[in-house]
């Protein structure tokens, strides 16, 4: 799953070396185990990853969730906010 996220993210940003993906274990509201993937990108690429109206990040989430369904798992994809 991390490979898919790396591929999708690194191919749309202008600074692919700054892309980092963190994986965390989580539990859904009904007790199933799941994974949370947190994407970190360069501050200048944040807008590109979010896209107009959030379309790009939604598309990334949908692609990852389709793969997760095929594997029988639950996932969530988040974009790390820089402070």
Q: What is the CATH number of the domain that holds 21?
A: 3.30.300.20
d(CA 61, CA 63): 6
pLDDT at 81: 80
Helix (H) or strand (E) holding 34: strand 33-40
> How many domains, the chain?
1
Query: What's this model's pTM, rounded to 2 decimal places?
Result: 0.88
- Judge whether residue 27 has pLDDT over 80: yes
- What does pLDDT average to over the chain? 93
Domain that holds residue 73: 2-79
DSSP the chain: -HHHHHHHHHTTSS-GGG-EEEEEEEE-TTS-EEEEEEEE--GGGHHHHH-GGGHHHHHHHHHHHHHHHHHT-EEEEEEPPP-
Which pLDDT score is estimated for 11? Answer: 97
């Amino acid at each position: 799953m991390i490979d898919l996220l790396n591929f999708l993210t690194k191919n749309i940003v202008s600074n692919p070396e700054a892309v980092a993906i963190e994986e965390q274990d989580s539990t859904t509201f009904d007790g199933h185990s799941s994974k949370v993937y947190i994407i970190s990108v360069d501050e200048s690429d944040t807008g590109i990853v979010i896209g107009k109206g959030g379309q790009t990040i939604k598309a990334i989430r949908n692609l990852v969730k389709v793969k997760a369904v095929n594997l029988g798992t639950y996932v969530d994809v988040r974009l790390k906010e820089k402070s």
